[in-house]
């Protein structure tokens, strides 16, 4: 139900108490939680030991500007570098999308992380929050590269999370700091931004993260608060059967629903399975909003947990990994 942020590099007593609550389904880690590969591995172990029921350990390790763990990990280029390569050599770009995904996911699995919220399948059309995090402006190119990314993640043992449904790339505003409104019709959104989501869902993508963007010609509510987007379109028209994550309740564009408790309730009432509360100071109020709710999503948590995981030592000994690192990191050099 809740995916909570924690404050430091070890669990504080109150954070152990949070994780003992059945309404908490997992933790999302940030740069503030990272000192070294060894330390973050211990932290993940500490999180898992906090209770017997399964917990998701998650992170945003996309590459480029959004890579929470850096020292000791491959410095991954942003997805836009792969899109730029596609214009020159489509076949090589598809191969590198799969390799980029495999590198990211195997490194996260080697330290015990279940999910990196990836890939971004928004279109690269100038949004201030998305920028180079997206593959390309073209829906067909984005879809082709996203499907390759899914393949790489699955080989590494990680479920894929498509974000930010139904598409954050075609508006300018950054929802971390401002409300974002997309004035287009559903027909326009479906023909463009929705296409990569539709294709990846048909290939079995396991999770979707919903945007805080409003699309008033479809529904006055932001997508993460909208039964129209989540129930009717995502689960209905697109026949999605996986997990639905809200975006962080602390973002400015989420404030339209009111208090933190009201935001959490609105996401859950709209059909979200998991609500990230990234700021630890907001967690107590979020917990108060869900204490009376049924938290019967343990089976969904188990479906999203990582299902393959080498030790870091075994990963380093994989000769294929070094080849992938050389090819993927060269994308930034060639840009």
Q: Which two tokens stand for residue 183?
A: 């004035």
* Known catalytic membership, residue 176: yes
Three-state DSSP at 173 gives coil
Cα dihedral 325, 330, 331, 332 in deg (nearest 10)? 110
Q: Which two tokens stand for residue 26?
A: 């997992």
End-to-end CA distance of the chain: 41
What is the spatial distance between Cα 254 and Cα 224, in angstroms, rounded to a whole number? 9
Q: Which two tokens stand for residue 307?
A: 């299902």
CB burial of 93-125 (b: ≥16 within 10 Å; e: otherwise) equals bbbbbbbbbbbbbbbbbbbbbbbbbbbbbbbbb
How far apart, in Å, are the Cα atoms of 80 and each of 106, 131, 141, 247?
A: 21, 8, 11, 22
What is the spatial distance between Cα 210 and Cα 59, in angstroms, rounded to a whole number? 16
Query: Chain centroid to CA 134: how far?
Result: 13
The total number of residues shown for the chain amounts to: 335
Supply angle C-alpha 262, 302, 264, rounded to 5. Answer: 5
State the alpha helices, DSSP H only, in 169-318: 186-191, 194-202, 227, 260-270, 283-290, 298-304, 312-316
What is the spatial distance between Cα 158 and Cα 323, in angstroms, rounded to a whole number? 21
Strand bridging mode 66-67 / 61-63: antiparallel
* Known catalytic membership, residue 247: yes
What is the spatial distance between Cα 243 and Cα 273, in angstroms, rounded to a whole number? 6
- On whether the CB atoms of residues 19 and 27 are closer than 8 A, the answer is yes
Annotated active-site residue in 247, 248, 267, 273 = 247
Q: What residue has token string 């990963």?
A: 315
Annotated active-site residue in 174, 176, 279, 332 = 176
Q: Which residues are catalytic?
A: 176, 247
């Amino acid at each position: 139900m809740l995916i909570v942020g924690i404050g430091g590099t070890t669990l504080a007593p109150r954070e152990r108490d949070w994780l003992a609550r059945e309404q908490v389904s997992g933790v999302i880690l940030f740069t503030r939680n990272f000192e070294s590969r060894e330390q973050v591995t211990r932290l993940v172990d500490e999180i898992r030991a906090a209770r017997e029921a399964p917990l998701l350990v998650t992170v945003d390790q996309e590459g480029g500007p959004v890579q929470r763990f850096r020292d000791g990990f491959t410095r991954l280029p942003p997805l836009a570098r792969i899109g730029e390569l596609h214009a020159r050599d489509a076949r090589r770009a598809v191969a590198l999308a799969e390799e980029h995904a495999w590198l990211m996911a195997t490194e996260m699995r080697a330290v015990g992380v279940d999910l990196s919220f990836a890939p971004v399948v928004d279109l690269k059309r100038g949004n201030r929050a998305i920028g180079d995090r997206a593959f390309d402006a073209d829906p067909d190119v984005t879809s082709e590269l996203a499907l390759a990314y899914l393949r790489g993640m699955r080989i590494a043992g990680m479920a894929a999370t498509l974000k930010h449904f139904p598409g954050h790339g075609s508006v300018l505003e950054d929802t971390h700091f401002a409300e974002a409104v997309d004035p287009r019709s559903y027909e326009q959104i479906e023909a463009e931004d929705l296409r990569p989501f539709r294709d990846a869902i048909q290939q079995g993508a396991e999770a979707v993260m919903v945007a805080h963007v409003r699309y008033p010609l479809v529904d006055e509510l932001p997508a993460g608060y909208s039964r129209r987007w989540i129930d009717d379109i995502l689960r209905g028209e697109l026949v999605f059967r996986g997990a639905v994550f809200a975006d962080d309740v602390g973002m400015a564009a989420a404030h339209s629903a009111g208090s933190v408790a009201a935001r959490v309730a609105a996401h859950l009432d709209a059909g979200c399975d998991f609500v990230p509360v990234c700021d630890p100071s907001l967690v107590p109020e979020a917990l108060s909003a869900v204490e009376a709710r049924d938290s019967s999503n343990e089976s969904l948590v188990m479906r999203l947990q990582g299902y393959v995981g080498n030790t870091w030592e075994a990963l380093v000994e994989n000769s294929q990994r070094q080849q992938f690192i050389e090819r993927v990191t060269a994308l930034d050099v060639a840009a």
